[in-house]
């Protein structure tokens, strides 16, 4: 009997990898995709609270007999910004508050305040009711940030992690678009009642999702971690995930031992002071300043205020179609822009994506300002203040404003709005990455609050042409600054990015592409570093 060398290799490979090879790639990916999609229902619920502001402002400021609320510009600005003021508070304490509870359970519990918010909106009959519900929605929307970010990174495999993490922004924009559609056809109280369905659904669906294996191991729940990982890796057996479980255990023990050796002889206060020094070093201050500048540009170039004051802007610039239909189109453009950004960052890199997006935003701002100037539109539309027009016929030119506002929504979400959120996960050193992400996210919402709060006042002071020319100027100044301060991190390792911001090396401005045929994942070197004897001789005579 003759056994070929290939037969022996096949037998060895089957013996080592037999059970894992039984599962297709699709089956391995499906439970991870399912868990992330269920997590995204939480983000859709948060997106609903963001989009609700856009339909609430015109509903509460209409000067009609049936309207029980009549808000002035100051009250409207608080409605538009108070939620964003409370989100940073939730972001800053998100990790501390939710870490003892667990990732999945934190996301599940946070749905309860969202439900309460919608109930308050439905029964609201005083202005402070709206303020309280918006503040609560913003705070708990920030509080959910840490469990959502960590849950995705801890349950997904490396080759799926990027795309599944990027789906978060799509979920938020989808929630905003859903609210725009509901607000177009239904009264605002009815919209609030219907919106309760999403957090209730999210709470129920999360009951069937597994907890993060990393969190379970960190809390000495090894058996539950095995079951969770087996579910996430294609509903497979516990034996198939044992190796990955052991790797996670070793990694966590190594980190604990390193921290223990370094801090065992130091007092608690001294350890805290030494830990805080990481936030005074160049490795934190340089990337934080860069990403804070990107957040500032993303919020003070017109796209944030467009989303909040969409109905009022479409009324002011006299949209040729119903303002609520125009808002739906704008929301669809934002969603499409988020999807396009997934391809831009992959094939063009972050620098090119940023250049395209910010240039488009600047051009749109200039066009809107020029249009308002030519049409003599200086102030925002209201029941007592209708903008005057020049000798031009609006019927011939009003499509310019509608098309440009929709284009502004699209190009801003094509990359520039998402860029800083992509960067914060990779620009900070490992030991301060989690807290750095929280601080950066808080800064983003502070800028969002400020831009919404001062928008109407700036419009009154600078006029509408002036404020959009100001936004355009900031966009082009930002474009020049981005050219010099933003390195290309796409395709680069986390170590290389950290070395760049510490000054040890330079990343350069080109995207690093992986070579064709390069293997992905971990390779068992026992099978590739040496050439077995039986592979050298094709045919081996059996002695049996």
10-residue mean pLDDT series, the chain (544 residues) = 46 42 76 90 90 84 64 80 85 78 88 94 90 92 81 75 74 89 89 94 93 84 87 84 80 56 47 64 86 92 87 86 88 89 80 91 94 87 48 61 92 86 74 72 85 86 92 94 86 72 76 50 39 39 36
Task: Return the pLDDT at 540.
Answer: 37
Burial class (CB in 10 A: 0-12, 13-18, 19+), 397: middle
Task: Return the pLDDT at 223.
Answer: 86
In words, the CATH class of domain 28-209 is mainly alpha
Do 432 and 278 contact (CB within 8 A), yes or no? yes
Task: Return the pLDDT at 365.
Answer: 93
Burial class (CB in 10 A: 0-12, 13-18, 19+), 360: buried
Task: Return the pLDDT at 378.
Answer: 84
Do 32 and 157 contact (CB within 8 A), yes or no? yes
Task: Name beta bridge partners: 163.
Answer: none
Do 492 and 422 contact (CB within 8 A), yes or no? no
User: Coil, strand, or helix at residue 18?
Assistant: helix
Domain spanning 279-385+396-510: CATH superfamily: MFS general substrate transporter like domains (1.20.1250.20)
Crossing angle for the helix pair 73-98 and 25-61, nearest 10 degrees?
Answer: 150
Cα–Cα distance between 375 and 177 in angstroms, integer?
Answer: 30
Task: Return the pLDDT at 11.
Answer: 42
Domain with CATH 1.20.1250.20 in the chain: 28-209, 279-385+396-510
Helix (H) or strand (E) segment spanning residue 3: strand 2-4
């Amino acid at each position: 009997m003759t056994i070929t060398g290939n037969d022996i290799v096949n037998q060895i490979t089957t013996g080592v990898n037999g059970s894992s090879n039984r599962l297709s790639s699709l089956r391995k990916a499906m439970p991870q995709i399912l868990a992330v999609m269920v997590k995204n229902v939480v983000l859709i619920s948060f997106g609903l609270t963001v989009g609700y502001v856009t339909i609430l402002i015109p509903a509460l400021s209409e000067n009609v007999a049936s309207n029980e609320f009549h808000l002035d510009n100051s009250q409207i600005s608080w409605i538009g910004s108070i939620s964003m003021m409370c989100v940073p508070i939730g972001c800053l304490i998100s990790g501390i508050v939710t870490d003892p509870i667990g990732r999945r359970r934190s996301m599940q519990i946070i749905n309860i305040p969202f439900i309460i918010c919608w109930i308050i909106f439905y029964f609201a009959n005083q202005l402070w009711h709206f303020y309280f519900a918006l503040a609560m929605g913003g705070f708990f929307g920030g509080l959910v940030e840490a469990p959502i970010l960590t849950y995705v990174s801890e349950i997904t495999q490396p080759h799926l992690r990027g795309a599944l993490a990027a789906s978060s922004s799509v979920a938020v924009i989808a929630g905003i678009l859903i609210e725009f559609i509901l607000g177009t056809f239904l009264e605002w109280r009815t919209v609030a009642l219907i919106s309760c369905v999403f957090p209730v659904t999210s709470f129920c669906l999360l009951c069937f999702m597994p907890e993060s294996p990393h969190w379970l191991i960190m809390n000495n729940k090894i058996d539950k971690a095995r079951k969770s990982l087996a579910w996430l890796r294609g509903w497979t057996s516990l034996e198939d995930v044992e190796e990955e479980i052991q790797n996670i255990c070793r990694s966590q023990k190594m980190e604990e031992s390193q921290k223990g050796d370094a801090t065992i002889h130091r007092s608690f206060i001294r350890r805290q002071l030494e830990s805080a020094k990481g936030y005074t070093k160049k490795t934190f201050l340089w990337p934080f300043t860069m990403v804070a500048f990107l957040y500032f540009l993303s919020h003070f170039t017109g796209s944030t205020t467009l989303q909040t004051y969409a109905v009022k802007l479409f009324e002011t610039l006299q949209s040729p179609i119903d303002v609520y239909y125009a808002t739906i189109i704008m929301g669809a453009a934002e969603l499409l822009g988020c999807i396009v950004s997934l391809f831009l960052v992959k094939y063009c890199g972050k620098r090119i994506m940023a250049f395209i997006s910010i240039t488009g935003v600047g051009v749109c701002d200039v066009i809107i300002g020029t249009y308002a100037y030519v049409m003599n539109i200086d102030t925002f539309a209201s029941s007592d203040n209708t903008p005057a027009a020049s000798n031009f016929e609006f019927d011939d030119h009003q499509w310019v404003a509608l098309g440009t506002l929709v284009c502004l929504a699209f190009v801003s979400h094509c990359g520039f709005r998402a860029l800083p959120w992509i960067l914060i996960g990779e620009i900070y050193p490992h030991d301060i990455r989690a807290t750095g992400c929280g601080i950066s996210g808080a800064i983003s919402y502070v800028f969002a609050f400020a831009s919404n709060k001062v928008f109407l006042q700036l419009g009154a002071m600078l006029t509408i042409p002036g404020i959009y020319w100001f936004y355009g100027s900031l966009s082009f100044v930002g474009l020049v600054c981005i050219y010099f301060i933003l390195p290309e991190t796409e395709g680069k390792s986390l170590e290389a990015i950290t070395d760049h911001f510490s000054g040890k090396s330079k990343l350069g401005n080109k995207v690093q592409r992986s070579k064709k045929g390069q293997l992905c994942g971990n390779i068992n070197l026992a099978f590739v570093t040496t050439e077995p004897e039986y592979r050298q001789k094709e045919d081996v005579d059996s002695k049996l």
